[in-house]
Amino acid sequence: MRSMVLYMVMATVAVGARSASGAETPAAELTQLLRAIRDARAECHLPTEVELSGAKSAALAACERLAARLADAPDGKIAAEQLQLPELLEALQNEGTDAAVLERADKALHRNRPGTKGVEFDRVRSTVEKYLRLLRASQTDDLPQQTAQQIDLLEQALRRYAADRSDDHVQQVSGPFLWLWDHGQIMELLVKVHKQTVHTNHRMRFSDSFLNRVLAQPITEPVTSNEMNEGARVIVRGTLNGKLSSVLVPHESQGVIHVSFEGLGKSNISAYKGKATVRGRGQTNIHASQPVYLTTSGFRVGTPQSRVSHRTTGNTVNVQTNCRWLRPLMNHIAAKVVSHQQAENDCKAAQRTRRQVEERLKTESARMVKEGNQTIDSFGLFAALGPEPESRLRLRTTTEYLEWLGRYAGDRQFGAPAGPPEFAPGNHAVLFQAHESAINNAQQFVVGETVNDADFRELVYSTLGLVPIGDEQIAGRIPATITFAEENPLDVRFRDGQVFVKLRLVEIADDHLVGRGLYTVSTSYIPRTGPEGTKIVRNSPIKIEPADTPEIEKLQEILSRFLVPEADPGNMESLQAFFKPDKLRLHQLKLIDGWLTLVLDLEKGVRRD
Amino acid sequence: MIERGRLASCFRAGLAGWLLAACATVAQAQAPSADLRAKLQNMELLFCFQGKGSSMSYDAGVLKHAFDYLPALAQRKVVITGNSSGSIFAIYFSCHGFTKASVDYAAYRIQHADIEAVRKSENAMGKFARLATNRPTEVSPEGLKEYIAFALGVENWRDAAKVEDVVRRSRLKPVFPVVIVAANKEVLDNRAEGNALSAKNYKEFNPDNFAVSWKQDVFDFYRKHPDRFAKDNPDLRLGDDPYIGKACTCFVDRTMFELLRQIPEEERLCDLRLMTDAADMALAIRASTAEPTYYPPAPETDYAKLYVGGRLGSAGRSRRRSYVGGFIMPMVAHDTRRMLPGVRVMGTGVARVAIIGRELVKAWYLVDLQNTTDQNAWWTDLEVVIPPDTQTAIANRTLNQKDEYDAGYKQAGEVLAIDRGRPKYVLEPKYRYAADAAIYPPNAKRDDIQEPASPAEHPALKTMRGLGPLLRRP
């Protein structure tokens, strides 16, 4: 269970994406929506002075509350500066508001994720955003005409999208959508448009056999007890050998795994009562199972069920008596009594064992569930999806796999134009599919960040189980660094079997050269599959713009440490460090229509035990 | 003029304490004594046992091979250093020296030691789950009993109830020059309430000299709110400037203490902690192995032996001191090589820590350990670089002790045969030139210094040269 969560966490982190879900939009709903948009054409919301001043006051009050909280924190001044709070407060306190300052502050606020600085911060974000929308609308001279024009564009784009759900058509929707959103027009309809056009952009499937490999483990436990039973001291010594395994149970809205345990206990039993001693060998068969449910609220377990049978054999009876004539007779009588009671005793032993097994199952599963849920909480797995993770995430199981479908897109972002392409299930361990939007929507994580080539290679190539060519020859190298730009730092496209990468950088440096400016760096990669697995090869030179950049060749050389010429399959080192039982190897990599599909297999001959 | 606080503390410690502290301060400005020079000028090798958790057998294999190649080990021309589990070997050889018998015995004991408890705690999955649920991952330091007994030469350790009992049975002292590193918990502490990765980030780490300071705005806030400072940081004192202290402490024998304190405070990477007896050495092992998530922090037991801010018997701006492992400096060479430019530096190899592990350490103790690792790796002349497959196996703990020993032995053979083994990535340290008070080898060919790029620059010491003249082909 823990492994499963961790794989999900790691894979999600790997693409820098948070996940969510979305079913295919029925055409009828789109048609209805188109009608509503057409009807809304005449609507234009021109903000009144009262509305504007109300929104401004709300934003100012939220800023003041946040400023007051930060003033009481040791790092409050630093946080306030990061958020550009002093400028924002000044702008809001002025009679006339400087929209440019607000725009800048809005961007700074959005670089920080909601929830990172408390509820006061989230309130500032939402109130400033609302005020800015009204302000933009009020400062647009021909608002009614422009609104009508954008609604027309939206309707046309949506119509094209309804006919052909392609990435290009989603792009066409996004233009008028963002204009209308940013000017606070037809907001309710826009929410519906968003809901209808944003689809799953991340899918993971964990095969039944893989999950079983992760969960299955042999269990060997000593069985010892020393207790009084109906006036007799009963001592049991033995061993329980068994195996934990899992089976997936089909469910449409949650992951259901049946975890079961099959075990055989063998023990030696000695019972002492008065002058009588009874010895025997016990054999206990245990079958126990319990369903585990994974939902967006976390893990929970169902009622455990167990079946236990116990049989004692080979009883020997000995009664101590001083009279050697009486001893055989007493032994004979005692043996008769024991034999007569054996069935009843075995039944009692089975029931007692069953109670113990169920108790143990309940305790263990409660502990595991608690751990699983706390893992989810502590690492913000579902919290990262916002207050309603179920609206963005869907979990389900079939008999063949556990599936995780996610839609990673903020209110102003779009996901995949339709669901992920189908993939022949086969007997692969893990299927990972990410739409380019899942990566591009995560740009905020790299804005302004500096990363060196060692970390970049670990994050990108090692996570995919690839080793850049020449990696083993690196010795005594001072890492080069790149710094991402504040605007659109990353653009990745998966098209025509290739990955097209575009980075916007403000610095490229190694120990000899520092290039500063605004560089647009682009290149492309193609996967090649051979008997050793899939490798990726750069199939175009690294292009740096502007083309007249000084020392461009040297900068290209530095960048080739990041955008390596070739990366071959190797072990998934960084993941392995966490999940040592399972050596995953990249089996297949596909890049079609905006989707990256990775198929990972367990390396042959690798077993958990 | 002696400041009032210091005078008071001197009286508290008695006249002898005052004299010692005063002498220590004066000694810093002086050149090394003739005695010290005589002891150290012929040193040829710095041998660093680089920690690998429970996979110490790998180092035993490396050493077994290196012993045949490097006469300097048997000739006692070696400074021994170590971090984390490498500190156990460092202490052992500081007491016993390098002989065929001591090397063989160390290899035998380490391969046959009981590592189950540590191995169990190293299970990443278990650690992850415990961290996620805010439960401690650390195991009892009593698990180190066998290792400390080995290092301190205590044969009859099995009936000892505690580590202290083992220590009491040892009469050993550090004989050969030794340096062991451990991070200073109170100085680096960065954890915040919340989840495992929650961090305060109120402090700044200066990689040039490992100084840790308050961010200026945080310092200003605390100056205005002393009560809040005391509540938030009960183990620290707020000074007149944002400086808090050094990120780490080097546990040293008397010789290395005298040597390393010659480096000016603003250039030296660590505080110094003098080791004179078995208890000090046991503390060094506990301090350096108390890595985050492994063992609980090891508290200082004798502040009189702590050398902070140029004063013996001081904890600087910390009210108390405890140690949280040697993660901060897997190659313990920076200060020693600056004082002994003639030595060549050999390491037993270090594995790269995955980014998620680094993030955790950074959240807890401020420092990106890969950066400090790379910066200290700059001083390496020869590292028995761990091959990727072995690195993975070590990280996953899939090898048994014999396999690890064999892997170390084999890899050392390959690296030493070609005299080439360099760390993958390095970062240039700021102070990469010899210290003013450095002790140079007599009549030696000066192949240890690079030509400076400009006359204004200090000539940097050469590194990553291999072991060259120190190697004897067996």
Can you point out the beta strands (E) in A454-606?
466-468, 481-484, 490-495, 498-509, 514-530, 533-538, 543-545, 566-569, 584-592, 595-602
Report phi then psi at A85, rounded to 5: -65, -40
Q: B368: how many CB neighbours lie within 10 A of its CB?
A: 17
pLDDT of residue A421: 86
pLDDT of residue A386: 55
pLDDT of residue B3: 34
The Cα–Cα gap between B80 and A199 comes to 61
The yes-or-no verdict on residue A29 having pLDDT over 80 is no
The yes-or-no verdict on residue A103 having pLDDT over 80 is yes
Percent of chain B with pLDDT over 90: 72
Closest Cα in chain A, distance from residue B1 (Å): 35
Test B197 with A478 for CB contact under 8 angstroms. Answer: no
pLDDT: which is higher, B434 or A260 = B434
What value does the mean pLDDT take over residues B165-173?
95
Report phi then psi at B279, rounded to 5: -65, -40
Per-residue pLDDT band for A425 (boundaries 50, 70, 90) equals low
Through-space distance between the first and last CA atoms of chain B, rounded to whole angstroms: 59
What is each CA distance from B359 to A12, B191, B203, B212, B292, in whole angstroms?
A: 17, 12, 16, 18, 12
Owner of token pair 């002891």: B39
> From the candidates B203, B221, B224, which should be mutated to test the interface with A, based on the most A CB atoms within 10 A?
B221
Closest-CA residue to A442 (of A455, A459, A430, A458)? A459
Per-residue pLDDT band for A153 (boundaries 50, 70, 90) equals very high
In chain A, residues with a C-beta closer than 8 Å to the C-beta of B128 are 2, 6, 375, 578
Which DSSP letter does residue A462 get?
I
The Cα–Cα gap between B85 and A154 comes to 65
Percent of chain B with pLDDT over 70: 89
B355 inside 8 A of chain A by CB = yes
Amino acid (one-letter) located at A436 = E
pLDDT: which is higher, A378 or A468 = A468
Test A580 with B201 for CB contact under 8 angstroms. Answer: no
Per-residue pLDDT band for B133 (boundaries 50, 70, 90) equals low
The yes-or-no verdict on residue B324 having pLDDT over 90 is yes
User: For chain A, how many residues are written?
Assistant: 609
Amino acid (one-letter) located at B295 = Y
The Cα–Cα gap between B288 and A129 comes to 51
Per-residue pLDDT band for A394 (boundaries 50, 70, 90) equals confident
What are the tens digits of pLDDT across the range B180-211?
999 999 999 999 887 777 889 999 999 999 99
- By the 8 A CB rule, do A443 and A490 touch? yes
The Cα–Cα gap between B440 and B442 comes to 6
Tokens of B261: 């304190």
Test A580 with B423 for CB contact under 8 angstroms. Answer: no
pLDDT of residue A407: 84
Nearest-Cα residue of chain A relative to residue B127: A578
Q: B412: how many CB neighbours lie within 10 A of its CB?
A: 27
- By the 8 A CB rule, do A561 and A481 touch? no
Q: Do strands A543-545 and A533-538 pair parallel, antiparallel, or not at all (unpaired)?
A: unpaired
The Cα–Cα gap between A332 and A337 comes to 9
The Cα–Cα gap between B22 and A437 comes to 66
Query: Does an H or E element contain A401, and which?
Result: strand A401-406
Closest-CA residue to B379 (of B302, B309, B465)? B465
Test B228 with A74 for CB contact under 8 angstroms. Answer: yes
Per-residue pLDDT band for B278 (boundaries 50, 70, 90) equals very high
pLDDT of residue B128: 66
In chain B, residues with a C-beta closer than 8 Å to the C-beta of A579 are 124-125
Closest Cα in chain B, distance from residue A265 (Å): 26
In chain A, residues with a C-beta closer than 8 Å to the C-beta of B393 are none
pLDDT: which is higher, B17 or B108 = B108
User: For chain B, how many residues are written?
Assistant: 474
What is each CA distance from A4 to A1, A391, A460, B65, B129, in whole angstroms?
A: 5, 21, 21, 43, 12
Which DSSP letter does residue A275 get?
T
Test B195 with A380 for CB contact under 8 angstroms. Answer: yes
Test B422 with A3 for CB contact under 8 angstroms. Answer: no
pLDDT of residue B126: 66
Test B354 with A578 for CB contact under 8 angstroms. Answer: yes
What are the tens digits of pLDDT across the range B30-45?
578 899 999 999 999 9
Per-residue pLDDT band for B330 (boundaries 50, 70, 90) equals very high
The Cα–Cα gap between B393 and B400 comes to 10
The yes-or-no verdict on residue B88 having pLDDT over 70 is yes
pLDDT of residue B335: 98
The Cα–Cα gap between A486 and A476 comes to 32
Closest-CA residue to B324 (of B350, B352, B286, B276)? B286
Nearest-Cα residue of chain B relative to residue A609: B398
The yes-or-no verdict on residue A224 having pLDDT over 60 is yes
pLDDT of residue A557: 96
Contact pairs from chain A to chain B, CB under 8 Å: 119
In chain A, residues with a C-beta closer than 8 Å to the C-beta of B397 are 580
> From the candidates A1, A3, A374, A378, which should be mutated to test the interface with B, based on the most B CB atoms within 10 A?
A378
Test B426 with A476 for CB contact under 8 angstroms. Answer: yes
What value does the mean pLDDT take over residues B275-298?
94
β partners of residue B53? none
- By the 8 A CB rule, do A135 and A97 touch? yes
Test A578 with B228 for CB contact under 8 angstroms. Answer: no
The Cα–Cα gap between A47 and A143 comes to 11
Closest Cα in chain A, distance from residue B195 (Å): 5
The yes-or-no verdict on residue B402 having pLDDT over 80 is yes
Of B228, B391, B424, the CB nearest to A477: B424
pLDDT: which is higher, A326 or B358 = B358
What value does the mean pLDDT take over residues A440-463?
88
Handedness of CA B393, B394, B396, B402 (dihedral sign): positive
pLDDT of residue A607: 38
Burial class of A123 by CB neighbour count within 10 A (0 to 12, 13 to 18, 19+)? middle
Test A577 with B124 for CB contact under 8 angstroms. Answer: yes
Q: Do strands B248-252 and B270-274 pair parallel, antiparallel, or not at all (unpaired)?
A: parallel
Q: A32: how many CB neighbours lie within 10 A of its CB?
A: 13
Percent of chain A with pLDDT over 90: 28
Test A78 with B395 for CB contact under 8 angstroms. Answer: no
Q: Return mean pLDDT, chain B.
A: 88
Tokens of A441: 């929507």
The reported pTM is 0.79
Prediction ipTM score: 0.84
Nearest-Cα residue of chain A relative to residue B389: A571
pLDDT of residue A374: 63
What are the tens digits of pLDDT across the range B230-273?
999 999 999 999 999 999 999 999 999 999 999 999 999 999 99
Tokens of B345: 């530096």
Task: List, as ranges, residues 11-70 from B with C-beta within 8 Å of A.
Answer: none
Percent of chain A with pLDDT over 70: 82
The yes-or-no verdict on residue A351 having pLDDT over 70 is yes
In chain B, residues with a C-beta closer than 8 Å to the C-beta of A479 are 374, 425, 427
